[in-house]
Structure 1
Amino acid sequence: MPQLTSGHEITLLRNGEQFFPALISAIDASVDEVRLETYIFHFDRSGESVAHALVCAAQRGARVYLVMDGIGSPPVPPQWVQTFAQAGVSWQCFSPLGRLGLLVPVRWRRLHRKLCVVDGRVAFCGGINILDDRWDMHQGALESPRLDFAVQVKGPLVREIHQAMLQFWTRLQATKAIEHLAFEQARQTLKQGKVAVLPDAAAHKHDMGLRAAFLVRDNVRNRTRIERAYCKAIADAREEVLIANAYFLPGRKLRHALMHAAQRGVSVRLLLQGRYESFLQFHAYRPVYGKLLAAGVEIFEYKLGFLHAKVAVIDREWATVGSSNLDPLSLLLAREANVVVESRPFASQLRTELLHELQTHASPLVAQTHAQRPWTQRCLDHLAFAAVRCFLFLTENRY
């Protein structure tokens, strides 16, 4: 289980409206280094503002490193390729599809985490992509901003986040060197990435008892850290479990943890995506709702706009904010990152935000209504669910 440590200052950021000004302000104040990872980097108004801040940082002499996912991000516009090159911004596209696309199973492993570290003094982690709140890659312009969260982190935890990003960058560089048969260069690159050269981040004196941990999920040592953290916190819950998650298809262990919590009298409420985004997203998740509802779990579907949050609050003290959905893609294949916070003030703030959305912009899912949905919809649900099971079989993962 994650070791929670003290001495951190963690600020909750809601939506791009709060996230982008904080991120750009930190980059604008950079002196030595900026590292940014994201699933989607879209060169819309918000994306260009971040890109401009990165370019200015590089022109001032800061080292700037950017990684974006090869599926999530559209191609970088040619003018920005040139601008990055002229400014000295180092950027990579993680695992481009190539000619065979998703027919190659290794391509299913995506970079889904959203992280940034500036000068080793401030970090960002959450679910917010470099994408305008009112724009969707598939739906176009949105009437309402998507609901999402991130955190700004100061203190010792920044060093852990920086180390994870440094290791990932050096592995990408080493992989590129190996592809070009530069084995000695690859060995030296990996060696350089083992130790982050950073000043010790000072602990904040007024953290009011806040403790935190940084969790990553990858396909090497940290395959189940985020899922196990959820299961442990839910198993320990005494009063309340409140989860908001965009793509929710939990595995057996997590489903049982939620059902057992509800059956022992814990209030378990889930705020889930209520709008159609894709066939699998809308249909594959619904077959698991029946058992959860029967066990006493309350499910609410968000209706105002698109839900993109991946957060939770348990017993008004334990909270997590990050990039990890509770579905097979996030918990079995993608690179994810969450921050876990143990703090009543922080948890209460996030809980207030979630309860407001749940009570004003969501509709409860009634067990009887769910069971009596049209047979055509039930057929589509089970067809989509079977497709996910087939996908899991191909990946040779138990879930």
Structure 2
Amino acid sequence: MSSPPMDKADVEHLSTTPPIREPGVVDVEYGWQGNNRLELLENGEAYFPRVFEAMRQATTEILLETFIVFEDKVGDELQEVLIAAAQRGVRITASLDGFGCGELSTGYLTALSEAGVRIQIFDPAPKHLGIRTNWFRRLHRKIVVVDGTIAFIGGINFSADHLADFGPEAKQDYSVEVQGPAVADIHHFALLQSGRPARAKYWWQRRTQRRSELAFTDHDGQVRLVYRDNGEHPTDIEEVYRQVLRSAQRRVVIANAYFFPGYRLLREIRNAARRGVDVRLILQGQPDMLAAKLAARMTYDYLLKSGVQIYEYCDRPLHGKVALVDEDWSTVGSSNLDPLSLSLNLEANVLIRDRAFNRDLFERLEDLSNNHCKVMSTEKSPRGRVWHMTVGFLVFHFLRHFPAWAGWLPAHKPRLKPFSHSAGSDTR
């Protein structure tokens, strides 16, 4: 029988432990790296076997960042694999979000810690009246790096609801396996979250780096890591989306679980469709949170009237965060296109220039939209009387700005803190 979730005393101990560092404040950008081998992993059936096998083969190091670990068959296997690796001398750091992993029992974490796994909890907080209050500024990244030679990045958490046998609520999602020079950047980024120093780039170097996003080449296997933090890179992922939308010539496909971007990104999507680009959005039709569907539908009229095609995926909850532009640009990662991901959460995506990968992703999304979605039209788009439009306008702006307002609360200052299995020691 598993131990109960961390109680107030556990969290108070974590909260009073000296912080390792405040994550998301290191000013470093990563450039394009060529000659990488890439594999798209769809859902837990493809992702978990590859990740666990890589961990079982690890000889020196495992770095893991994730939003959610549940104590189910996937979480239990993760625990087993990490403990076995630690016992054979592999250095392991697991960075877990305090909200997404808030239900993990002290026993689960203690077993890992006692085996030698270094556990870091991002922004742990006790429940108040049985309710978790640390909703905002989440560590939402999903990254695994093994031995500095193989990396996984995407939207899949370590939970059984990413497997089809979970039932109707099983999530549809994606990750990518990377091998090659780009792994060094992903590895470096993961190490930074533990406090490794890095030289900052000057403003003109950052501008040159962003401009290079539009400099498409004929070389496949290129990968670039981009991330969003609450320091020097608060808009990097959103800026990449806007840049490639402006450069799109033939097609754009965006599959995103929580779609509620701001006006600038919506405008670039609309403008691409207006100039004749085939623009398709695959959004939630069977959401795990009803508010996500309602928020997304507020944008439908604006986009449909400009020629954007909108598909709602109805088989099960869509959890993916992927996109492609033309025949050689793709992105896979953890960032939704909503206020939380674009304004508050710590996120990471990889940008990919590879025709074979782009084609694979396009074929899978094409199958999704053609065979598992309903097509939205202006007739199906929610509209109505003036008061409906007025309420929609007010709700739109409230939802857009509420996360930022909540983030201003003085009591909320996220930290990455070590978990220790005894009051007199920590895992640093």
Contact 1:280 1:384 in 2 (8 A): no
Q: Percent identity of the aligned residues?
A: 36
Q: How far apart are the structure 2 equivalents of 1:382 and 1:141?
A: 37
Q: How far apart are the structure 2 equivalents of 1:375 and 1:252?
A: 21
Contact 1:42 1:74 in 2 (8 A): no
Q: How far apart are the structure 2 equivalents of 1:142 and 1:351?
A: 26
Shift of 1:378: 7.4
Contact 2:383 2:389 in 1 (8 A): no
Equivalent residue for 2:349? 338
Structure 1 gap segments, 5+ residues each: 171-192, 197-206
Shift of 1:156: 1.4
Equivalent residue for 1:156? 181
Q: How far apart are the structure 2 equivalents of 1:370 and 1:351?
A: 26
Equivalent residue for 1:194? 197
Amino acid at match of 1:385: F
Q: After the TM superposition, which of the residue ranges 242-251 and 64-73 deviates more from structure 2?
A: 64-73
Query: In the TM superposition, what are the counterparts of 1:73-112 in structure 2 within 5 Å?
Result: 73-98=101-126, 108-112=136-140
Shift of 1:382: 5.7
Equivalent residue for 1:132? 160
**DSSP-derived class of the 1:10 partner:** strand
Q: How far apart are the structure 2 equivalents of 1:77 and 1:103?
A: 18
Residue of 263, 266, 278 corresponding to 2:289: 278
Aligned CA-pair RMSD:
2.8
Shift of 1:12: 0.9
Q: Tell me whether 1:320 sits opposite 2:364 in the alignment.
A: no
TM-score by length of 1: 0.83
Shift of 1:262: 0.3
Amino acid at match of 1:92: Q
Contact 1:5 1:213 in 2 (8 A): yes
Q: How far apart are the structure 2 equivalents of 1:85 and 1:8?
A: 34
Amino acid at match of 2:364: E
How many residues matched? 360
Contact 2:287 2:318 in 1 (8 A): no
Contact 1:246 1:272 in 2 (8 A): yes
Question: For residues 393 and 34 of structure 1, do their structure 2 counterparts lie closer, same or farther at Cα, with a shift above 3 Å needed?
Answer: closer
Q: After the TM superposition, which of the residue ranges 94-103 and 343-352 deviates more from structure 2?
A: 94-103
Provide, for residues 348-399 of structure 1, a one-character-per-residue CA deviation record: whole Å limited to 9, x for no partner: 00000000011000001111221457999979856753541450562689xx
Q: Tell me whether 1:263 sits opposite 2:263 in the alignment.
A: no
Equivalent residue for 1:178? none
Equivalent residue for 2:194? 169
Question: For residues 119 and 359 of structure 1, do their structure 2 counterparts lie closer, same or farther at Cα, with a shift above 3 Å needed?
Answer: same
Question: For residues 99 and 42 of structure 1, do their structure 2 counterparts lie closer, same or farther at Cα, with a shift above 3 Å needed?
Answer: closer
Shift of 1:269: 0.3
Question: For residues 218 and 70 of structure 1, do their structure 2 counterparts lie closer, same or farther at Cα, with a shift above 3 Å needed?
Answer: same
Q: After the TM superposition, which of the residue ranges 300-309 and 273-282 deviates more from structure 2?
A: 273-282
Q: How far apart are the structure 2 equivalents of 1:82 and 1:330?
A: 31
Q: How far apart are the structure 1 equivalents of 2:98 and 2:388?
A: 33
Q: How far apart are the structure 2 equivalents of 1:271 and 1:81?
A: 37
Equivalent residue for 2:11? none
Q: Tell me whether 1:212 sits opposite 2:245 in the alignment.
A: no
Q: Which has the higher helix share?
A: 1
Q: Tell me whether 1:359 sits opposite 2:370 in the alignment.
A: yes
**DSSP-derived class of the 1:124 partner:** strand
Q: How far apart are the structure 2 equivalents of 1:154 and 1:215?
A: 17
Question: For residues 279 and 66 of structure 1, do their structure 2 counterparts lie closer, same or farther at Cα, with a shift above 3 Å needed?
Answer: same
Shift of 1:284: 2.1
Q: How far apart are the structure 1 equivalents of 2:146 and 2:388?
A: 48
Q: How far apart are the structure 1 equivalents of 2:404 and 2:151?
A: 37
Equivalent residue for 1:15? 43
Q: After the TM superposition, which of the residue ranges 77-86 and 382-391 deviates more from structure 2?
A: 382-391
TM-score by length of 2: 0.78
Query: In the TM superposition, what are the counterparts of 1:36-115 in structure 2 within 5 Å?
Result: 36-98=64-126, 108-115=136-143
Q: How far apart are the structure 1 equivalents of 2:317 and 2:265?
A: 24
Amino acid at match of 2:267: H
Q: Tell me whether 1:249 sits opposite 2:274 in the alignment.
A: no
